[in-house]
């Protein structure tokens, strides 16, 4: 009897657990595709990737796009906030205080700028007549390691935002000619400053965090725009903030397109008898090189797939091209060694004279 009671108890517990799991609301970790111990940075990365994929403007054929996107926003809003995440981890979605609607636009714009959801860059068409603030261009230096593996850069944008203020202000000021009558038949033309009246605004400095992604394979001079994050315009729209990528030179690898070039110096012995070595690549993995034949100075070795990922398709990689040069022994040889070498190598005297600079 006791055993049966225990079994029933277990089944009930299991049922209760399953029901509560189902009713507990959405699994935010699953929506973002991160583990429960993910750092805030991992969560941001996951959000950014998915936000670009799931945005309704990009998925106009999918009737569930709005819901999926809303789920994504809710997941990010909770998991990126320490307080809310703690509550969610302890009590599930139901345990969170109040609804968390809206402000998904706020989250989205920290990754793409204030008007970043206008995919396709229709900005030019819309504001031909609206005055626009200046653009800001920031040269972002990136290392070749970052070009190979990708990375995220967080920035804090502190900018003036126009906020309503009490009263009115003068706007659209211009010079106009006024004619005043001084007496019968006598007039005077004067220049006068004439202004319109507009609602008063004041510029208040506000801050927000933006996240720029250094995508794999990114090329020099490529730009990442954040729409609306530039300079404000008191009578119009703010300009854009653009991050311009500047790839730094690397001590080991030289980039040409998607290919990487490097040089290796080997000893004369290695050049003649062969050698094995490893080159440490940009992300730490090792490229094995083996030669058992003679390696001439200036010889090149192509390693396919060991270059940089292509920006448009990161599954395609360029090649690593290794050029060998030979270091001759520093010490001079004595007569005995010279005889030894003559008999070992059995190479006759060559002594060919030619114009090497013109390809003869």
Partner 1 sequence: MEIIHGVQVLVKSVLFVLLWCQCEGRDSELSYVTCGSLVKLLNTRHNVRLHSHDVKYGSGSGQQSVTGVENADDSNSYWQIRGKPNRPCKRGVAIKCGEAIRITHMKTGRNLHSHRFNSPLSNNQEVSAFGESGEGDDLDVWAVQCDNDHWERDEAVRFKHVGTDVYLSVTGEQYGHPIRGQREVHGMKSANQNNWWRSMEGVFIQPSQEPLRHDEL
Residues found near partner 1 in the complex (CB under 8 A) = 37, 39-41, 82, 85-86, 89-90, 133-142, 145-146, 148-160, 203, 205, 210, 230-234, 239, 241, 248, 283-286
Q: Answer yes or no: are the C-beta atoms of 232 and 259 closer than 8 Å.
A: no
Q: Shortest Cβ distance from residue 66 to partner 1 (Å)? A: 32
In this complex, which beta carbon is closest to partner 1, that of residue 31 or of residue 210? 210
Cβ neighbours for 145, distance < 8 A, ≥ 6 positions apart: 282, 283
C-alpha 232 chain-centroid distance? 25
Q: Shortest Cβ distance from residue 131 to partner 1 (Å)? A: 12
**Residue 196 CB: number of other CB atoms within 10 A?**
11
Name the nearest CA neighbour of 119 among 169, 178, 59: 59
In this complex, which beta carbon is closest to partner 1, that of residue 51 or of residue 144? 144
In this complex, which beta carbon is closest to partner 1, that of residue 230 or of residue 318? 230
258: its two tokens: 């998607």
Cβ neighbours for 63, distance < 8 A, ≥ 6 positions apart: none
In this complex, which beta carbon is closest to partner 1, that of residue 104 or of residue 281? 281
Q: Shortest Cβ distance from residue 148 to partner 1 (Å)? A: 7
Angstrom distance (rounded) from CA 249 to CA 147:
12
Assign 25 to helix, strand or coil: coil
List residues bridging with 197 in a β-sheet.
Answer: 170
In this complex, which beta carbon is closest to partner 1, that of residue 62 or of residue 154? 154
Q: CA 325, 247, 307 angle in degrees (round to 5)?
A: 50
In this complex, which beta carbon is closest to partner 1, that of residue 55 or of residue 242? 242
Q: Shortest Cβ distance from residue 151 to partner 1 (Å)? A: 5
Q: Shortest Cβ distance from residue 39 to partner 1 (Å)? A: 6
Q: Shortest Cβ distance from residue 180 to partner 1 (Å)? A: 28
103: its two tokens: 């402000």
In this complex, which beta carbon is closest to partner 1, that of residue 273 or of residue 280? 280
Q: Answer yes or no: are the C-beta atoms of 255 and 302 closer than 8 Å.
A: no
DSSP 8-state secondary structure symbol assigned to residue 227: B
Buried residues in 57-88 as b, exposed as e (16+ CB within 10 A): eeeeeeeebeebbebbbbbbbbbbeeebbebb
Q: Shortest Cβ distance from residue 147 to partner 1 (Å)? A: 9
Angstrom distance (rounded) from CA 63 to CA 261:
49
Angstrom distance (rounded) from CA 156 to CA 227:
15
Name the nearest CA neighbour of 131 among 203, 231, 229, 235: 235
In this complex, which beta carbon is closest to partner 1, that of residue 55 or of residue 85? 85
In this complex, which beta carbon is closest to partner 1, that of residue 69 or of residue 88? 88
């Amino acid at each position: 009897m006791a055993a049966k009671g225990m079994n029933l108890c277990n089944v009930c517990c299991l049922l209760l657990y399953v029901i509560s799991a189902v009713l507990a609301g959405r699994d935010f970790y699953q929506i973002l595709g991160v583990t429960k111990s993910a750092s805030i940075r991992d969560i941001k990365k996951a959000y950014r990737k998915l936000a670009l994929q799931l945005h309704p403007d990009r998925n106009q054929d999918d009737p569930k796009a709005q819901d999926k996107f809303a789920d994504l926003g809710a997941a990010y809003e909770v998991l990126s906030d320490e307080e809310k995440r703690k509550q969610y981890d302890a009590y599930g979605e139901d345990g969170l205080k109040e609804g968390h609607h809206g402000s998904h636009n706020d989250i989205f714009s920290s990754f793409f700028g204030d008007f970043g959801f206008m995919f396709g860059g229709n900005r030019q068409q819309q504001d031909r007549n609206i005055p626009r603030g200046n653009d800001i261009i920031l040269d972002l230096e990136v290392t070749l390691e970052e070009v190979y593996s990708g990375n995220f850069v967080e920035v804090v944008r502190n900018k003036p935002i126009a906020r309503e203020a009490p009263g009115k202000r003068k706007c659209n000021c211009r010079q106009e000619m006024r004619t005043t009558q001084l007496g019968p038949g006598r007039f005077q033309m004067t220049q006068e400053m004439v202004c319109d009246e507009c609602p008063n605004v004041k510029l208040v400095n506000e801050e927000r965090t933006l996240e720029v992604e250094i995508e794999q394979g990114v090329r020099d001079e490529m730009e990442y725009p954040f729409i609306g994050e530039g300079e404000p315009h008191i009578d119009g729209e703010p300009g854009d903030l653009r991050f311009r990528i500047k790839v730094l030179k690397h001590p080991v690898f030289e980039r040409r397109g998607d290919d990487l070039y490097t040089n290796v110096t080997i000893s004369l012995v290695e050049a003649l008898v062969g050698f094995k070595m490893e080159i440490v690549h940009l992300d730490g993995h090792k490229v094995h090189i083996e030669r058992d034949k003679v390696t001439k100075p200036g010889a090149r070795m192509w390693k396919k797939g060991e270059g940089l990922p292509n920006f448009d398709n990161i599954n395609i990689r360029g090649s690593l091209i290794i050029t060998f040069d030979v270091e001759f022994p520093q010490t001079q040889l004595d007569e005995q060694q010279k005889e030894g070498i003559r008999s070992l190598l059995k190479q006759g005297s060559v002594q060919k004279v030619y114009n090497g600079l013109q390809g003869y």
